Amino acid sequence: MLTEITIDNLGVIPRASAELSPGLTVLTGETGAGKTMVVTGLRLLTGGRADASRVRTGAEKAVVEGAFSLTDLPEQAREAVEAIAASAGAERDENGEYVVSRSVRATGRSRAHLGGRTVPAATLGELAGHLITIHGQNDQLRLLSPDQQLAALDRYEPEAASALASYREVWSQWREAARDLKERTEKRRELAQEVDRLQFAIGEIDTVAPQEGEDTELVASINRLQDVDALREAAETALVAIDGPDAVGAFGGDEEAASSLVGRAATALSTASDPALNELGQRLDEVAGALSDISAELGTYGAGLPSDPEELEKQLQRQQELKALTRKYAPDLAGVLSWRAKAARRLSKIDTSAEALDELKKRVAELEKQMRACAKKLSDVRARAAAALGEAVTAELHGLAMPKARLTVRLSSTGYTRDGADAVELLLAPNDALEPQPLATSASGGELSRVMLGLEVILSATSSGATLVFDEVDAGVGGRAAVEIGRRLARLAARNQVIVVTHLPQVAAYADTHLHVAKNVSEETVTSGVRELSEPERVEELARMLAGMEDSATGRAHAGELFARAREEVESLRL
């Protein structure tokens, strides 16, 4: 549920905020007051396209911020939202809600944030798919799309989701296997040449048999070999200084070894009667121990230095072999090994022999058989759902002042696609005597609005916790049809949060919360603000919407009667 929205510098709105409640919320106001900007702000929060022209004149940027609560969402939708938020590193605020924001600069650049983290706008779109649905004039046009009509049918029938998932799994396997068979059949010569190239390259690498990290170790080893004489001399000089010439098998001179001198000094101080000298003696004992350790390590180091004069040449040659591989296959040895692994995987998949092709043909045939069976099951589910959906929406249309209208959901067969083997088309007939025609050619704007509302009422009957936004879907509607639209929106709001931008008092009267967008025109600027109306103010606004008669006692009486009747019906729906 959307609990709060704040808008800064969007269109004619310098700053406005509103707390939103469950149930039905309507937004009303005079033409040009900025009602559409509220929906524009919601579209931005759902990852919609950022339009710099919407930034208020003179402002650097427009900002829209919304807070979403997951409390009433179905478990599956809540888990999906939590997963998206976790992957983005988003966190809930102190109210346990996710704060979503979108900013659009006058230069055209935009930024999106989710739970304190910067995210791509596409992430907001993915999140919104589980939180909010916006219906507007453009969304009505999308209803004419065959893909949208098919999605509506699948949404109506719970079994369709699992049947479609099973079909898609087999369809993906079949498509991949069929593509592989086609490639192997049509490109046998090219694939045979690729096999030769891969086998040669893998053989070349295997002949050298590089080991991971070997190139780095070789560099260190070669540097040591090139300086081996100097290194040996440095180690022996230090060892002679510590332990004397005998340590390296040389004839000694008159100078005493450092270890002997330090040991003698330590003994002299340790036997003195002054504790201060005793402490210094102990410290010299530590020095003597350190010299002993260094002497042992120097001996080990010297013994480990290579003595084979040909070792350097061997290692230089090995280095050249490795460089030949890195020149051809990758910048470093790790890359060469990675390339070899990929080449081996590719080679294992290329087999153009007659036996392999026969085996692949059998697999393609078996997968195609499974796919056809899954598609048949999905089509059967859709056929049953099509009849039921047509009847249900037709009943809704009769209640929306289209008493003779009939909606038919027609299924036809197509090729096998990701969505099955069916095409769906919604057909509308004004009465039983006429043949149903496609919505695109038979429905007016008002009729299309009612079809979309009827569909949403039916499709949302088994769901709860969703946020549904309707942007003037009642355009072109009036009279009794307007009252019926209000009733159905109220019914829809019994289980979901419904937000409606409307110009019809018959719809506004059914609202649980009435927000008014007011316009203020000065000499230099036009500004708008949003505020919640009290009951007396709602009656005045209804009177204005009825005929601009907010100052008329008759108008207020008419509005009061409309409001009272609508409230009675809403209360009965909530019982």
Mean pLDDT of the chain: 85
pLDDT of residue 430: 86
Res. 288 pLDDT band, cuts 50 70 90: confident
So what's the pLDDT on residue 380? 95
Q: Using pLDDT thresholds of 50, 70 and 90, give the confidence band for residue 234.
A: confident
**What residue spans of 305-332 are helical by DSSP H?**
311-328
Note the residue count of the chain.
575
pLDDT digits (tens, 9 = 90+) for 556-565: 888 899 899 9
Helices then strands, each counted (H, E), the chain: 20, 15
Within 10 angstroms of residue 98's Cβ, the number of other Cβ atoms is 23
**Sign of torsion over alpha carbons 423, 426, 431, 437:** negative
CB 78 within 8 A of CB 106: no
CA distance 117 to 90: 6
- The CA distance from 525 to 9, in Å, is 13
Quick: pLDDT tens for 445-460.
777 878 888 888 888 7
Q: How far apart (Å, rounded) are the C-alpha atoms in residues 575 and 572?
A: 5
Mean of pLDDT values over 213-235: 78
Sheet with strand 13-19: strands edge to edge: 13-19, 2-10, 61-68, 98-105, 110-114, 117-119
pLDDT in tens, 112-133: 999 989 999 999 999 988 888 8
User: Which pTM does this prediction carry?
Assistant: 0.65
Per residue in 347-363, pLDDT (tens digit) is: 887 766 677 778 889 99
